[in-house]
Amino acid sequence: MTAAAVTLCFLLREVDGSREVLLGRKRTGFGRGKVVGIGGHLEAGETAAEAVCREVDEEVHVIVAPEDLIPAGTVDFVFPSRPEWNMFTTVFLTESWVGEPSESDEIVPQWYPAEDLPVAHMWADAEHWLPAMMNGRRMDVRVVLADDNESVAGVFHSDWADEAASASGPGRKWEPGL
């Protein structure tokens, strides 16, 4: 089954010398009640960059220009016992936008210290890949969920800096853990 194409954007700012990231409590749909990144599904004909700018505007009313998106990699969420939930996520960071985040029907946004994420309220896998990506590590990640569709059964990564990783296909080197 093909994974749904989705995208996430993490807004980063510095306040009194400390870095903060914008997350939000999801009010509807997949992952309702969890604190998640801002983003969602690509619409037909959209690139991930176009989709994430649209989603950030729709969900938290902030305008991000495509040229201000910093590519951070991808996360493939694999739900072996619910393959219809599989999602392939293109992840971006940004430090530039216009407007102040405000809530929508879908998300209640909130700034969190980048060093102290609300992991108890997030997907269990987020602490494996999000801190590394926020710290500038560009990579492709594969998260395999356990049968409860919540806990993490396995995490694999392939750094963009790793020459072997730039070749997709059978030559690609996936390392366990992060």
Ligand X SMILES: Nc1[nH]c(=O)nc2c1ncn2[C@H]1C[C@H](O)[C@@H](COP(=O)(O)OP(=O)(O)OP(=O)(O)O)O1
Q: Which residue sits closest to ligand X, CB atoms considered?
A: 29
Comparing CB distances to ligand X, the nearer of 17 and 83 is 83
DSSP 43: P
CB of 61 to ligand X, least distance (A): 16
Work out how close the CB of 37 gets to ligand X at its nearest, in angstroms, rounded to a whole number.
6
User: Long-range contacts for 124-132 (Cβ within 8 Å, ≥24 apart)?
Assistant: 124/150, 124/151, 124/152, 125/77, 125/152, 125/155, 128/152, 128/155, 128/178, 129/75, 129/155, 129/157, 129/178, 130/10, 130/37, 132/178
**Minimum CB separation from ligand X for residue 25, in Å?**
12
Sequence-distant (6+) residues with CB within 8 A of 97 are: 11, 56, 62, 63, 64, 68
Q: Which is nearer to ligand X, 25 or 41 (CB)?
A: 41
Kindly list the residues in this chain that would bind ligand X in the complex (CB under 6 A): 6, 8, 28-31, 36, 39-41, 77, 87, 89, 123, 125-126, 143
Cβ proximity to ligand X, 92 vs 123, nearer residue: 123
CB of 53 or CB of 166, closer to ligand X: 53
